[in-house]
Structure 1
Amino acid sequence: MKAIQRGFTLVELIIVMVVTGILAGILVTFFMPAMDSYFAGSRRAMLTDAADGVMRRMTRDIRVSVPNSVAIRANGPGPCIGMLPSSSGGRYRTGTDVAWDSTHASVADQSKPVTPGFSVDTFDATTSVSGKQNDWILIGNQSESDVYTVANHGRLSADLAAPPHANLGHKRVTLQAPMPVPAGYDGARFFVVPNAQQVVAYVCSGTGLDAKGNGTGVLYRVRGHAIGAPNYRNCPAPGAGTPVVATHISACTINFTPNPGATQLSGLVEMDLTLTEANENVRLKFGVIVDNAP
């Protein structure tokens, strides 16, 4: 006797479809908001991390920059601020070691001080410092124009090395040509600026929103603009290989006050940045004190 094969009836199929639809509706109602919240939170976290990276990178460059080198730059694709970050620096000898020099007749063995108001081609660093051949040496610049004038600075003729004798200092700084030291400068500090980097600028370009609610702007870190470039007050243009600090920028404002309040030896950089992805916004506003005492 043959077995009878029986399928689903139309009524049973309809019931299954109705139940499935109800279950799907319940899942959408209760789980989709949770999923949307998860993805929104993930986007905000990524934007927050990106904003934090901007703050840390800019703050570091600003704080190690040569005094009086930070300034707003003109003619850029958007807000732009430039600076001259140093890689090292320290204190120099301000007077001869009379007792030592009297017992060492060789010129190379004697102490090498810096005298304000005169040019110097060799001097002893009394603190630990590092520098490579062709790096720049800056001393006592009082203004932005001083900082970006090549004739005010020296260039290392060789990598920094120990002096002939340890009690002369930590390093002996030898320059390619004599450099002038401002008269009256008593700070006894010098800065080393890497020749491979020189001027650094942070440039906001193309800020706004696209149709999907994503920020269209990019924050670039442009480096290599020459110290003595005739257009040093202008913002260097980002190129194809320019490092990107952050993307998805919908708004960007950069301000610099050289002398806030009554303080004349410090400045204030203020950054207001909004990062946006899929209409999720993270706004970062921070300030960095700039040491303008040479």
Structure 2
Amino acid sequence: MIELVVTIVLTALIMGALVFFTYPLRQAVDVTARADLTDAADNALRRVGRDVRLALPNSVRVATDASGRAYLEYLAVRTAGRYRADGQGAGGGSLANCASDDATLSPMQPNNDQLSFDVSADTCFKTIGIVPDRSTIAAGADYLVLNNLGSGFTGQDAYASGSPPATNRTLVTAASDDATLPQSQIQFSSGTFSRTLHDSVGKRFFVISGPVAYICDPLAGTLTRYWSYAIQANQCVGQAAAPCSGSVNMPPAGASLAVLATQVTACQFNYSPNASSQAGLLSLLMTLSKDISSGSPERVSLYHAVHVSNVP
């Protein structure tokens, strides 16, 4: 009998104490859920921001389809540098290719290291200084791009198909560093770069690895990164027809992908290409949602802004 009374008393004490512990424990679980959502959204948006800072100038483009999916695409820069342009006017320099240095000139002044314009035979030039990360250039896969001004500029849009002068990009066939001089050598597929269209004011060139796309799909609850697919003139937005993939929320078929965030319920990508002089502003807004202990969904919305250099 005594044991029964003790058991009843202890049970009553425990049940009474649970009232004081239930809500703090539930609150701790909810706080953890909110922190997880915030961390996931922050990591995803910061990853997008880091990527976009490596975008080819004037290559960022965004879109939204009727189902609320947000699309972001850009051309990823592998490396960049500066070139010497020939000063011969139409017809180019005396030597169009990197064949051999003129013995009459000093080693630092070869007449064949210049990038010639309006010359179809030019397939090589030497850079001013060593190109950073030159060893990462993928010959036969990466592209050389000059003076990219973006959509709406004929011959100056790296998304356009064809070869120079119809477009401002051509395939890189080889890249190497000079054995004695502080310069690199870039070889590329034959094409006639136009001085009027393609000679950058700052004598800059870019080597791109290809397009990268981010698709935020609230219907699937995901933010996904796509890469390793062919450059397309038009952005794949809610299209199932070729050259886009058979799924409405994917870029061209064959792309590699990685999911950066789940539990996504809303997203918005906005881009202003002329937020300031030769600089754009990309704004990213994403909402993640998760059911918490009370049964109601907990929502976390994060905003992230990225400045994009548009100096061609």
Give the TM-score, by structure 1 length.
0.78
- Using a 3 Å threshold, how does the CA distance of structure 1 residues 254 and 182 change in structure 2: closer, same or farther? farther
Q: Which residue of 2 aligns with 1:252?
A: 267
Distance 1:191 1:286 in 2: 27
Offset at 1:188? 0.9
Question: Does the 8 Å CA contact 1:117/1:180 hold for their aligned counterparts?
Answer: yes
Q: Which residue of 2 aligns with 1:186?
A: 201
Deviations 1:97-133 (A, max 9, x none): x9x7453699xx7541124555541111223232121
Question: Secondary structure in 2 aligned to 1:35?
Answer: helix
Offset at 1:59? 0.9
Q: Which residue of 1 aligns with 2:299?
A: 281
Q: 2:284 aligns with which of 271, 278, 287?
A: 271
Unaligned runs of 5+ in 2: 88-93, 95-100, 239-243, 292-296
Q: 1:37 aligns with which of 17, 27, 39?
A: 27
Question: Does the 8 Å CA contact 1:257/1:268 hold for their aligned counterparts?
Answer: yes
The equivalences for 1:123-134 within 5 A come to 123-127=125-129, 128-129=131-132, 130=134, 131-134=137-140
Q: Which residue of 1 aligns with 2:160?
A: 149
Distance 1:143 1:81 in 2: 15
Q: Indicate yes or no: 2:221 matched with 1:202.
A: no
Distance 1:241 1:202 in 2: 12
Unaligned runs of 5+ in 1: 1-8, 208-215
Q: 1:225 aligns with which of 224, 229, 232?
A: 229
- Using a 3 Å threshold, how does the CA distance of structure 1 residues 230 and 65 change in structure 2: closer, same or farther? closer
Q: 2:147 aligns with which of 131, 135, 140?
A: 140
Distance 2:306 2:195 in 1: 28
Distance 1:182 1:205 in 2: 43
- Using a 3 Å threshold, how does the CA distance of structure 1 residues 253 and 182 change in structure 2: closer, same or farther? farther
Quick one: percent identity of the two aligned structures? 28
Offset at 1:156? 1.4
- Using a 3 Å threshold, how does the CA distance of structure 1 residues 24 and 132 change in structure 2: closer, same or farther? same
- Using a 3 Å threshold, how does the CA distance of structure 1 residues 93 and 226 change in structure 2: closer, same or farther? same
Q: Which residue of 2 aligns with 1:90?
A: 81
Question: Does the 8 Å CA contact 1:141/1:147 hold for their aligned counterparts?
Answer: yes
Residue type at the aligned position of 2:258: P
Question: Does the 8 Å CA contact 2:281/2:306 hold for their aligned counterparts?
Answer: yes
Bigger helix share: 1
Moved over 6 A (4+): none
- Using a 3 Å threshold, how does the CA distance of structure 1 residues 241 and 156 change in structure 2: closer, same or farther? closer
Offset at 1:177? 1.8
Residue type at the aligned position of 2:216: C
Query: Which structure's CA Rg is the greater one?
Result: 1
Residue type at the aligned position of 2:114: P
Structure 1 range deviating more: 73-82 or 49-58: 73-82
